[in-house]
Structure 1
Amino acid sequence: MAVKIKLARIGKIREPHYRIVVADARTRRNGRAIETIGQYHPKENPSRIEVNSERVQYWLGVGAQPTEPVRNILEITGDWQKFKGLPGAEGRLQRPEPKPSKKELFEAALAAANEEPGVEAVTPKKKGGKKAEDKEAKAEKDAKAEETKADKPEAEQKSGEGQA
């Protein structure tokens, strides 16, 4: 029985994910697999490649033939060079930088907040919202109205004295 190591596609449209599977050479692309030995996610940056190296070495040792895309993946991980006895068995697989945990991010933000010397809010705090603003505006209008009322009687008194 001819056995191949090939990619079985999973995932959505325009969002491919592949399983690296060992299957009979006569089966369909997504047909029945003997064993799943890895995953390949090409859309991530850098591409995520997970391969069970021990199982790959076993299947290559018993005569399984990798397809071209799988062979390229195995060269990146270094499994193909290890099988063939070539130099470069460590591979050239790029690992993404580990994401900091939420706890670490929180602690860093707290430390940054405590180190800043009295930085205040950009916008001033409101002590009553619109009500406080309305009261201030009303007080200003009342003050102006009182000034104009105070000015009118004086003018009327002066004009009234001349007529009487």
Structure 2
Amino acid sequence: MVSLRLNRKGTKDRPYYKIVAVDSRKRRDGRYIEQFGTYDPMQDGENYTIDLEKADKWLAVGAKPSDTVKSIIRKARTAAKAEA
């Protein structure tokens, strides 16, 4: 099963995450299928970037997002609606 989750990068006390599609059996920072966004919890304001088309593609084929990724997708969708 494919899951949408965070892949940790950065240094100690300075985390930075990639939002990736990965086989759910892989380890947290293991090889992923596709990267479609980033998340920086240390940054103020809008601290994420995401390609909603790729996220929707993965959700359409049955990928399960983690709680944090689900929240980021929801925020991105509301921001996209506010711009339109």
**Deviations 1:51-101 (CA, angstroms, capped at 9, x unpaired):** 0111011001111000111111111111xx8xxxxxx8727xxxxxxxxxx
Aligned counterparts of 1:60 and 1:24: Cα–Cα separation in 2: 14
Higher relative contact order (CA 8 A, sep 6+): 2
Aligned counterparts of 2:27 and 2:81: Cα–Cα separation in 1: 32
TM-score (norm 2): 0.89
Q: Is the contact between residue 40 and residue 47 of structure 2 (CA under 8 Å) also seen in structure 1?
A: yes
Aligned counterparts of 2:33 and 2:51: Cα–Cα separation in 1: 15
Local SS of the residue matching 2:6 = strand
**CA-atom RMSD in angstroms:** 1.7
Aligned length: 82
Aligned counterparts of 1:69 and 1:25: Cα–Cα separation in 2: 16
Percent of aligned positions that are identical: 35
Aligned counterparts of 1:89 and 1:12: Cα–Cα separation in 2: 31
Corresponding letter in the other structure for 1:3: V
Q: Call closer, same or farther: CA 1:89–1:48 in 2, change over 3 Å.
A: closer
Match of 2:49 in 1: 50
Q: Which has the higher helix share?
A: 1
Aligned counterparts of 1:20 and 1:35: Cα–Cα separation in 2: 9
Corresponding letter in the other structure for 1:43: M
TM-score (norm 1): 0.47
Q: How does 1:80-159 map to 2 (within 5 A)?
A: 90=81
Aligned counterparts of 2:23 and 2:80: Cα–Cα separation in 1: 27
Aligned counterparts of 1:67 and 1:89: Cα–Cα separation in 2: 21
Match of 1:8 in 2: 7
Q: Which has the higher strand share?
A: 2
Aligned counterparts of 1:47 and 1:32: Cα–Cα separation in 2: 27
Local SS of the residue matching 2:59 = helix
Match of 2:36 in 1: 37
